[in-house]
Amino acid sequence: MIWILLHYAIVLACVMRILLRPHRDPAARAAWVLTTLPVPVVGVLAYLLFGETSIGRRRIERLRRIEELLPDAARFPAEEAGAGASPRVDALFRVGASISGFEPCPGNSAELMADSDAAVDAIVADIDAATDHVHLMFYIWVADTNGRKVAEALMRAAQRGVACRAMADDIGSRRLIRSALWTEMKSAGVHLASAYRVGNPLLRIFDGRIDLRNHRKIVVIDGRVTYCGSQNCADPAFVQKAKYAPWVDIMLRIEGPVVQQAQRVFAADWMEAVDEDLSGAVATETAPIPNGWPAQVVATGPSVRASAMPEMFTSLIFAAREELVVTTPYYVPTEGIQSALCAAAYRGVKVTVVFPARNDSLFVGATSRSYYAGLLASGVEIREYLPGLLHSKTLVVDSKIALIGSANMDRRSFDLNYENNILLVHRQTCRDIRQRQDTYMAETRVVTPEEVASWSLPRRLWQNAVAMIGPIL
């Protein structure tokens, strides 16, 4: 009887925690309660391991100390930064500033890389031209052709006296971190770090969730150039999941003051993993480029306020007046994002969303399709990319405003991953990204309402059942 009472007390305490935990949307609460009650032992254990977005007390304290050490990124007078250009642009930049504390900065320029291989070649060329430092962070870094190109460029730079710091996620890049190439880079003088080291999994769970990951892709060279986009340091063939290849990504090479904001994001990540003060590198300001345009880094993660990334996405969607084009490989939206896309189409905005036809995640692919009927009913055009896995994360508003970076429209990006994105306002750069979206759409199939209505009963049951637990995936 005592054990039975203890069992029910533990289950009741878990359910109460689910219901009382702050910043949890109702769908997530319902999903966890429905998971816990039918199978209490498994449900309670799953919630203890994965239900709380806990980064650990020690890490919180460490991040607090890092924030105190690092100087603020440069600030510019409102008229220089692009404020006042239009109410909707000002509002978007205010949302971005409220997330990661960066104000918009003027005088930036960018070049859209032709493809993944061209992006790696450009990164290697910039590393070869570096004179002071090279800072890199990749969620996935593979010891393939492109991964080795970057590693070899770092080793060359380190050997000529350039301070090279390279970081990779401990889970996303686990093969590289345990490879001979990693050891070779270290021997050549490249300073290396693993982001969010797992260590002993049994002990690690007591210091925050084990599946909190650094999903960012950041390159900063000499404080004058940064790269931002969806691309990991790997070949398009992507050996880990070659059956979905080619992986199609997008990358911008950017110069101007926004580089300092990317530098600060990298510095905070590095200092969290390594006992080294990079405040001096952050303090070095980059002068605005004549005739440049305003941009802002929007960096999110579990240590930023809840729902930061969904707020940025919904704000951009509501800002659209004529056209909105979104590409994302993973779509497990909040109710707000789904409603915002539908509302945009209802008010006359031409909304197009492009997903990969084949998703490397069975559950996410099924969950995404559970939302198709609602999107199509509102007039959203859905296209599925056929040649490979479209991994680009882009959102373009009226060919004037764009968000590009590492964040997906899914719960993992919203709640568990550290992401890095850049919000920019410039007609030509946005048109370049928009044209790239057109090249994707040229190799897509249009999903029709009739097709979705014809899906079999078992298929719809599977998709909707998986979507029910989407908030806890």
The residue with tokens 């007078």 is: 77
Distance, CA of 265 to CA of 219 (rounded, Å):
11
| 40-50 vs 26-36: helix crossing angle, rounded to 10 | 140
Q: Are strands 105-112 and 251-255 parallel, antiparallel or unpaired?
A: antiparallel
H/E element, 63: helix 57-69
Q: Which amino acids are annotated catalytic?
A: 215, 217, 222, 391, 393, 398
Which SS3 state, helix, strand or coil, does residue 271 take? helix
**Burial class for 11, CB neighbours closer than 10 Å (0-12, 13-18, 19+):** middle
Q: CA gyration radius for the chain?
A: 22
Q: Return the ∠ at Cα 254 (arms to 165 and 308), rounded to 5°.
A: 80
Distance, CA of 366 to CA of 463 (rounded, Å):
5
Distance, CA of 31 to CA of 9 (rounded, Å):
20
My answer on whether omega of the bond before 246 falls inside 30° of 0, hence cis, is yes
Phi, psi of 116 (to 5 degrees): -65, -45
Strand-pairing partners, residue 236, are none
Q: Is the dihedral of CA 64, 69, 74, 75 positive or negative?
A: positive
**Burial class for 8, CB neighbours closer than 10 Å (0-12, 13-18, 19+):** exposed
H/E element, 66: helix 57-69
Instruction: Give the DSSP letter string of 337-390.
Output: HHHHHHHHHHTT-EEEEEEESS-S-HHHHHHHHHTHHHHHHHT-EEEEE-SSEE
| Cβ atoms of residues 79 and 106 within 8 Å | no
